[in-house]
Amino acid sequence: MASILICEDDKSTLGMFCKLLEANPLIDEIYKAYTGREAVQIIKDKSPDILILDIDLPDIDGIQVAKIACDLNPEVAIAFVTGYPDFAAESFVVHPYDYIIKPIDVQRFQETVNKMAARRECDTLRNKLKLTGKFPLRADDGIIFLNLDDIIFIEKNGKETIIHTTNGVHKCNYNLKDLEINLNEGFYRVHKSYIVNVNMIDMIQNMGDSYIITFHNYDKTVLMSKNRFQFLKDRLI
């Protein structure tokens, strides 16, 4: 579940927002602010997961509040609700999830909050799985939880992604970018088609314009690009 801050200087509009949020099962804590300064103080004290900000506020405008919030917590989810469409381009500096123009479309507001809260839930679960050393993988009859330590490398082969582990091979249709999010710092993208578990590497050999990676007790090899090798070398040696 997620905590949310609503910053809106109109009391009736703020009250409407709160009623909608109180009925939302994905929200467990609601903070209210009428001014930008009040919002900033709540952000510092409570660190809410989601911000719903009006832009035209009596003191600090909503975009400035969002910038301060992002400096304090880059993962915070932000949506603007305002009567001023002209600020849309300026607001993109904080990468808002949505920019809703007043009068409020209640369905859109609820959908936006639900999507932000669901993303928060996913991020929380993903981080917990990383701490436990598990990697979730969809299967035909459910979910397989692989041990991260057992993964040797991951390769993209056409439309198919192949995960090589010490216990066998698993195939899926994830792209490598999405997979990287679920991996910990022990994994490294060595090529556009490969992610390797650094702890499983036995040797990296030069092959002219590229490099070949070999692994402990595994007969398959992986191609490594020259610039990725240099980056890894600078970081490790």
Residue-wise pLDDT tens digits, 35-74? 999 999 999 999 999 999 999 998 999 999 999 999 999 9
Q: Do 143 and 223 share a structural domain?
A: yes
Q: Which residues contact 221 (CB under 8 A, 6 or more apart)?
A: 212, 213, 214, 215
For residue 31, the cross-strand partners are 5
Q: Which domain holds residue 222?
A: 134-236
Q: Do 77 and 39 share a structural domain?
A: yes
Question: Is 192's pLDDT higher than 70?
Answer: yes
Q: Do 186 and 123 share a structural domain?
A: no
Distance, in Å, from the CA atom of 217 to the CA atom of 73, rounded to the nearest integer, reads 43
Asked if 54 contacts 9 with a C-beta cutoff of 8 angstroms, the reply is yes
Residue at a domain's end among 130, 145, 170: 130
Instruction: For residue 161, give the CATH number of its domain.
Output: 2.40.50.1020
Q: Do 216 and 160 share a structural domain?
A: yes
pLDDT of residue 237: 66
* Averaged pLDDT for residues 12-27: 94
Which ranges in 26-172 belong to alpha helices (H)? 36-46, 62-72, 88-91, 106-132
What is the dihedral sign for C-alpha 122, 126, 132, 138? positive
pLDDT digits (tens, 9 = 90+) for 166-182: 999 999 888 898 888 77
The two beta strands, 134-139 and 98-101, are unpaired
Residue at a domain's end among 96, 130, 164: 130
pLDDT digits (tens, 9 = 90+) for 198-227: 999 999 999 888 899 999 999 999 999 988
Average model confidence (pLDDT) across the chain: 91
Distance, in Å, from the CA atom of 221 to the CA atom of 86, rounded to the nearest integer, reads 54
Nearest CA among 17, 82, 19, 95 for reference residue 54: 82
Strand runs (DSSP E) across the chain, as ranges? Answer: 2-7, 27-33, 50-53, 77-82, 98-101, 134-139, 142-147, 151-157, 160-165, 168-172, 187-191, 194-197, 201-206, 210-215, 218-225
Instruction: For residue 95, give the CATH number of its domain.
Output: 3.40.50.2300
Nearest CA among 46, 56, 115, 58 for reference residue 32: 46
Question: Is 139's pLDDT higher than 90?
Answer: no
Q: Do 101 and 152 share a structural domain?
A: no
Q: Do 141 and 117 share a structural domain?
A: no
Q: Do 119 and 14 share a structural domain?
A: yes
Q: How many CA atoms lie within 13 A of 36 on its CB side?
A: 16
* Averaged pLDDT for residues 147-160: 93
Residue at a domain's end among 74, 98, 130: 130
pLDDT of residue 28: 93
pLDDT of residue 14: 95
Q: Do 199 and 109 share a structural domain?
A: no
Question: Is 232's pLDDT higher than 90?
Answer: no
Q: Do 60 and 121 share a structural domain?
A: yes
pLDDT of residue 24: 94
pLDDT classification of 137: cutoffs 50, 70, 90: confident
Report how many domains make up the chain: 2
Q: Do 19 and 115 share a structural domain?
A: yes
Distance, in Å, from the CA atom of 3 to the CA atom of 7, rounded to the nearest integer, reads 13
Q: Do 164 and 76 share a structural domain?
A: no
Q: Do 203 and 157 share a structural domain?
A: yes
